[in-house]
Amino acid sequence: MNPALTQRFPGIRLGLIGGVSLVLLSLIGMVETFNQREIISDLISMGQTLLLLTAVFIAYLAAKRGREHGRAQVFGASITAGLIMAGMLTLLVLLGQAINMRQVFINASPVLFQILIFQQEELWAGIGLLLLAGALIGFSAALLCLLPHWLRRVITTGLCSVAGVGLLQDLIAPILSDWSLLADFTDLLFPGNGLSISGAVGLFIVVAALSALWSFRGQALQTRIKALPPQSRRGLNFAALLAGALVMLVLPQVLGLFLSEVMTIVGLYILLGLGLNIVVGFAGLLDLGYVAFFAIGSYTVAILTSPELGFFDWNFWQALPLAVLFGVLAGVILGVPVLKMRGDYLAIATLGFGEIIRIMVLSDFLRPWLGGAQGIGKIPKAAIGGFEFATPQEIYYLILAGCALVGFISWRLRDSRLGRAWMAVREDEDVAQAMGIELVATKLLAFATGAGFSALSGAIFATKLGSVYPHSFNVMISINILCVIIVGGMGSMPGVAVGAIALVGLPELLREFAEYRLLVYGAALMAMMLLRPEGLWPEATRQRELHEEEDAVRASKLAEGSAGPRS
């Protein structure tokens, strides 16, 4: 396509991109699968929401591009984009009527087409509605683009929270109706499948009002807090920390069995992520065999505690230190041969290490000791006195304690001398050495610490499941953990938690996502690279790097002011 044309009419290019995405979302079956869940009863389903959000986002981008050419272009670009997207879906529907596409695209079913034309009996009426929707989406996106920043944020926050509450209705409704006071309210909000219309409007108004209040008052509040004397500010921080800890402690009691189970899974990933964050995020060593240490922790606990093998009869607490110790040793053993490797070579070598461990535990030769493909079962639960960590709600506390410990250690390490050495090695190994940093010890300590944390989570994983199997430790675990820290923000500890919730927690909550998990991962990673390469909750250094261009612009402006030659 003529580049000048797409420059002039950004709506065309973005509309085509958006159209392809929408057709793709439909053809891979996401729209239909997600359609069982209504976001707002009898009005809009999750499948339609998916299409709608994509379309609005693309149209908004088009509107933003159009802004350079004046107000008319804002509407022009985004309505063009909206219409093109709707047009491409129309083509899909028409094509589906004319020929049977299901030979190739098994998801191109009549049900899908019915969804796309708003369940209209009349094909042409439906198509008319679809095109109208496209134009409306473009129009609203343009309006959104022209609104002042704060108002836009208020509206998007409101809409997103409606979508979010609708999405998570299965989880929210039972929790709310547990409280007898709220039972009537719950019925009002969730009459059946999805939010009621009045409920959705009410929710939108409440959230939008809160968000507006924050836009106007938040700034003042923040400056007021900043103006506090350090002592009372420290007190405030402490109080916030205490409140957060309390919430974390009562959470499983409030949220019930299913959500607690999800939280234990997320928690395990946070533990693993914090460990890998030290290796990859702090020290910059790309380790793709990280799951090996997880396996070593799990198997150590299994071998030492399970009566099935009959070698040892330890309890969890006796086995735990040994599991961590073996993890640390394995970290060093892996570290020594790969000390000289960098970047890609390191990634491949560690990948191999992960596979070696998995194949070892799978092997028939070692079956008497490691259980082979059947794995090892009957791993006892951890217990303190008479209290057993058996249900998800109880295991949650074990994991919470682990996360708190590992989080604290990571935090102290980051600001330590060792943490600075890791940072130097991450930035430039050769210069780090010239600064007097001992490479060998610094790298080995990174591998060992990360491995120890991984083994700790492996140990908890073994007692949580009660059994270990080789297939639990495949390379996908390493990749998932790496995704968690990339999405959360390399080197950032809160980022690990955010990444784990987004990539591990949400797919667990939304069963529909399970089938598309990898697709969603891929899309999330790409979206992150494009929109927020520093991660959801970035570490300060990384954020600086990725906004370097802006800094450079600012710097050169500064330099113009001050005289003096520059190379």
Which spans of this chain sit near another protein (rule: CB under 8 A)?
417, 420-421, 423-424, 427-428, 430-431, 433-439, 541-542, 544-545, 548, 551-552, 555, 559, 562, 564-567
Smallest separation (angstroms) from another protein to the CB of 491:
11
Smallest separation (angstroms) from another protein to the CB of 437:
6
- Give the torsion sign (CA, 456, 461, 463, 464): positive
- Cα 265 versus chain centre, distance: 13
Smallest separation (angstroms) from another protein to the CB of 559:
8
Residue 428 phi, psi dihedral angles, 5° rounding? -165, 105
The DSSP annotation for 446-508 comes to HHHHHHHHHHHHHHHHHHHHS-B-GGGG-HHHHHHHHHHHHHH-TT-HHHHHHHHIIIIIHHH
The DSSP annotation for 138-162 comes to HHHHHHHHHS-HHHHHHHHHHHHHH
Smallest separation (angstroms) from another protein to the CB of 530:
21
Cβ atoms of 76 and 11 within 8 Å: the answer is yes
- Cα 404 versus chain centre, distance: 20
Instruction: Determine the Cα–Cα distance for residues 72 and 76; give it in Å rounded to an integer.
Output: 6
- Nearer of residues 229 and 564 to another protein, judged by Cβ: 564
DSSP 282: I
DSSP 70: -
Smallest separation (angstroms) from another protein to the CB of 85:
39
Going from the C-alpha of 449 to that of each of 105, 300, 343, 345, 381, the distances in angstroms are 48, 17, 20, 21, 26
Q: What tokens does 491 get?
A: 């080197």
Could you give the dihedral angle defined by the CA atoms of residues 392, 396, 402 and 405, in that order, rounded to the nearest 10 degrees? Answer: -170
DSSP 388: E
3-state SS string over 162-177? HHHHHHCHHHHHHHHH
Smallest separation (angstroms) from another protein to the CB of 418:
11
- Nearer of residues 231 and 567 to another protein, judged by Cβ: 567
Smallest separation (angstroms) from another protein to the CB of 414:
14
Smallest separation (angstroms) from another protein to the CB of 540:
10
Smallest separation (angstroms) from another protein to the CB of 489:
14
Coil, helix or strand at residue 250: helix
Please write down the long-range contacts of 147-150, taking CB distance under 8 Å and 24 or more positions apart: 150/212, 150/215, 150/216
- Nearer of residues 120 and 433 to another protein, judged by Cβ: 433
